[in-house]
Structure 1
């Protein structure tokens, strides 16, 4: 079973990252989460340290491009198959770094992909 890392996870129910965790869990996906504050969403622990993650298939980004910059290498080092750039996270500079590392870049909305059965 493939594992998804929700990157930029929030405890706030109105945030898309929060909704994404819930929908991914409902869809039967294996979900882990990274955010700036620890907490629990739909049974998923939000971690504040990236060294806790391994064997990540998909990183779904919910962090604006300015804040992504400090995590470029951390995300590349996770060796995911793909990184999904959700609306508001688009970042051509990061796309290039990921592609150079052999990581697939997908500019899409995780919630839409789930709703139309195109997530995997």
Structure 2
């Protein structure tokens, strides 16, 4: 099943987990959009730097630490995703509560592991 995914905190650096996640999502045929500090492209996915009002986002997968997440709280809620995945290092109980209050599922997991074990 296709789950349009926003990779937030996307990096052009091949060694970064967000970059690997984009490549893995593409290889699993998941529609993918990405936002990061620097514009560019990874495996055909354009990385933008503006808070675009994407439609039909199923999943937001976070690669931003808690201090950097604050500026995205309202933006992510406005996208009305089904779920937000908090990858290792992004755990944020304050944001969990905001999401749950807006009926958005919180998953504390690793996108790469989820894809690799068919739990995505």
Q: TM-score range by the shorter chain?
A: over 0.9
CA distance in 1 between partners of 2:53 and 2:42 (Å): 17
- With the length of structure 2 as denominator, give the TM-score of the two structures: 0.97
CA distance in 2 between partners of 1:12 and 1:6 (Å): 14
Give 5+ residue unaligned stretches, structure 1.
none
Name the residue aligned to 2:84: 83
Matched ranges for 1:85-104 at <5 A:
85-104=86-105
Q: RMSD of the alignment, in Å? A: 0.8
SS at match of 1:46: strand
How far the C-alpha of 1:52 sits from its partner, in A, is: 4.5
SS at match of 1:111: helix
- With the length of structure 1 as denominator, give the TM-score of the two structures: 0.97
How far the C-alpha of 1:50 sits from its partner, in A, is: 1.6
Q: Report how many residues are paired.
A: 119
Name the residue aligned to 1:4: 5
CA distance in 1 between partners of 2:72 and 2:60 (Å): 12
After the TM superposition, list the runs of 4 or more consecutive aligned residues in structure 1 that deviate by more than 6 angstroms: none
How far the C-alpha of 1:51 sits from its partner, in A, is: 2.1
Name the residue aligned to 2:48: 47
**1:23-75 residue CA offsets vs partner (Å, 9 max, x unmatched):** 00001100000111100001000011122522100000000000001110000
Name the residue aligned to 1:110: 111
Q: Contact between 2:77 and 2:102, CA under 8 Å: does it hold in 1?
A: yes
CA distance in 2 between partners of 1:70 and 1:4 (Å): 19
Give 5+ residue unaligned stretches, structure 2.
none
